[in-house]
Amino acid sequence: MIYKVSYVVIGGQHRGMIANQDEAPQVGQHIELAGLMCEILEVQELVPPLEDFAYLHVTCRLLEETGDS
């Protein structure tokens, strides 16, 4: 399964991101979004899966800036 995931970060310090990934995001997981470390707060299925693709919406909170990009 490929997960098409939209990320939104509470607090407005990140403009959000859409990416396709091999693994499903998990609540509590720490991820880097374009230079910002974030913690996943909520994962919801946005629309039903289609063939090999699942469509998810993730809400995160900012942890720290990595300065990577």
Partner 1 sequence: MEITLPILHAVDLFTGLNETQLAALAEIGQVSEFNRGDIIMKEGEQTTAVYIVLKGQVEVVSELNENTTSLIILGAGQSFGEMALLDAGPRSATIRCLSPEASMLAFSREDLLAFWDRECRVGYRMLFNIARDLAFKLRIRNLTNALPREAGYL
Q: Which residues bind partner 1 (CB under 8 A)?
A: 2, 4, 6, 8-20, 33-34, 46-47, 50-53, 55, 57, 69
Nearer to partner 1, 11 or 28 (CB): 11
Q: How many residues are present in the chain?
A: 69
Q: How far is the CB of 28 from partner 1 (least distance, A)?
A: 19
Q: In the complex with partner 1, which residue's Cβ is closer, 13 or 26?
A: 13
Q: What is the DSSP letter of 59?
A: E
For the chain, the straight-line distance linking the first and the last C-alpha, in angstroms and rounded, comes to 29
- Select from 59, 57, 58, 60 the least CA-distant residue to 37: 60
